[in-house]
Amino acid sequence: MNLVVAGGGTGGHLFPGLALAEEFIRQAPGTRVTFIGAKRGLEMTVVPPLGYDLVVLPVRGVMGSGIFKGFGHGLTLLWGAMRAFAVLGRVKPDLVIGVGGYASVPAVLAAFARGVPCSILEQNVMPGRANRILAHLVRRIYQGFGSRSAVFPTEKTVISGNPIRPEALPPPGLVRPPWRKNLLILGGSQGARQINELALDFVPRLKERFPDLSVTHQTGPAHEERVRLGYGDLEGVTVVPFIKEIARAYSDADLCVSRAGAMAVSELAASGLPAILIPYPQAAGGHQDLNARWFEERGGAVTVYPEEATGDLLFEKIVGIFETPGVLAEMADSAAKAGVRDAAARIVRGELERLGKKAE
């Protein structure tokens, strides 16, 4: 079969698409996958080395652009839809799946115009405006989290969990030693200035309180030197711009300080890793606030809102979790119960059944 995965731009959109592509090939060997992405998106560097075909559209975001820029970017969406229409005519896909990001909209519009079966994936708790519009055009909507608001038609919505590539997860049933205190600090693939600055405040104090504490800090490439200099010769602290073997990092950690992007929350939950979440304040529609609240309500995380975050507060939260008997184990258990490890398999089985194709 021929599959088109449309969207990307950031890892939060692209990596679920890659997980779906890999699972389609596993369940339906011989599947040919074409990615439709955007210029300047992460897919430009990630997708080609994996052997997938990639078509990029000259599209840009409309939301938050202002009237004139928004109008111009809207024209790029129209032009992108025309380009996508032509691409679909050439590829002749059996299915188009939109995974979010700028290129998802024109590709799904083109699929609808051509009568090609199409579905979308919504990674966040609260759906974005683009997916709310596309929801009326697609046959199936997969949600990473249960939404607080019934904004999607219930008859075609499935709460599936977010697709995660197997290599991003530690082994199932992982049990962390109760005496260990390893801290993982993440701010997304590009890092987070606020989290980096907070860590430079609370980590040295944590090391005084817990001499055996081990810290792995992903800074983002632009912030590595500043953070490394800030820690100086502090022992037991590993500073890296980007963690390639994230599954190992999740396995080695007992607690994580992180932003609350949809995929970060999904991976933490599926890894059974407790977290202190500091939502990114400029995330569209307050997505990260709601993602963090979802995880917190299920017992896997504590939310510290960015306007309240200080080094003192983070120090107190971490010490409280480490020093209160049973709290860390309870959070880990709750996180694992909230997590979904097989979302990609669920989605692919459902799509193959709807297409009348047999999975292997």
CA distance 11 to 165: 12
HEC secondary structure over 181-250: CEEEECCCCCCCHHHHHHHHHHHHHHHHHCCCCEEEEECCHHHHHHHHHHHCCCCCEEEECCCCCHHHHH
Q: What is the pTM of this model?
A: 0.92
> Is residue 38 included in any domain, yes or no?
yes
pLDDT per position as a tens digit, 229-272? 999 999 999 999 999 899 999 999 999 999 999 999 999 999 99
Can you give the residue range of the structural domain that contains 249?
A: 182-338
Q: Indicate if 203 and 305 belong to the same structural domain.
A: yes
> Is residue 360 included in any domain, yes or no?
no
pLDDT per position as a tens digit, 100-139? 988 899 999 999 999 999 999 999 998 888 888 899 999 9
Q: Indicate if 217 and 254 belong to the same structural domain.
A: yes
> Is residue 169 included in any domain, yes or no?
no
Q: Indicate if 8 and 27 belong to the same structural domain.
A: yes
Provide CB contacts within 8 A for 342, sequence distance 6+. Answer: 161
Q: Indicate if 71 and 214 belong to the same structural domain.
A: no
pLDDT per position as a tens digit, 294-353? 999 999 999 999 999 999 999 999 999 999 999 999 999 999 999 999 999 999 999 999
User: How far are the Cα atoms of 37, 104, 283 from residue 53, in angstroms, in the given order?
Assistant: 11, 16, 30
> Is residue 65 included in any domain, yes or no?
yes
Q: What's the structural domain count of the chain?
A: 2
Instruction: Tell which residue, 126, 75, 71, 131, has the closest CA to residue 100.
Output: 131
| CATH number of the domain residue 209 falls in | 3.40.50.2000
Q: Indicate if 61 and 114 belong to the same structural domain.
A: yes
Instruction: Tell which residue, 120, 283, 292, 319, has the closest CA to residue 202.
Output: 319
Q: Indicate if 138 and 121 belong to the same structural domain.
A: yes
